[in-house]
């Protein structure tokens, strides 16, 4: 599963509106929508802003191997 799919699933599962998260993240709604549909690359800066807006750690969306 791609990161954008995990983010979209989290947003949907928790009842958030994509438009509200886009606003909080400072990402234009059109750009955010394109990311959530896999039509635009989600960069690290985008993920960081989205995680701040959602008040979650990026680790819930990416696999971080420790060791």
Q: pLDDT per residue over 1-55, tens digit each?
A: 899 999 999 999 999 999 999 999 999 999 999 999 999 999 999 999 999 999 9
Separation of alpha carbons 34 and 60, rounded Å: 21
Quote the pTM value. 0.90
Range list of β-strands (E), the chain: none
Distances in Å between the Cα of 19 and the Cα atoms of 5, 15, 30, 41, 53 are 16, 12, 9, 18, 12
Distance between start and end Cα atoms, the chain: 23
- Res. 64: pLDDT tops 80: no
Fold designation for 3-55: 434 Repressor (Amino-terminal Domain) (1.10.260)
Question: Are the C-beta atoms of residues 50 and 25 closer than 8 Å to each other?
Answer: yes
pLDDT given at position 65: 72
């Amino acid at each position: 599963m791609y990161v954008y799919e995990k983010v979209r699933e989290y947003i949907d599962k928790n009842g958030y509106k994509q438009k509200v998260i886009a606003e909080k993240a400072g990402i234009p709604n059109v750009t955010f929508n394109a990311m959530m549909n896999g039509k635009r690359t989600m960069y690290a800066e985008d993920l960081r802003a989205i995680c701040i807006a959602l008040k979650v750690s990026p680790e819930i969306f990416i696999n971080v191997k420790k060791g």
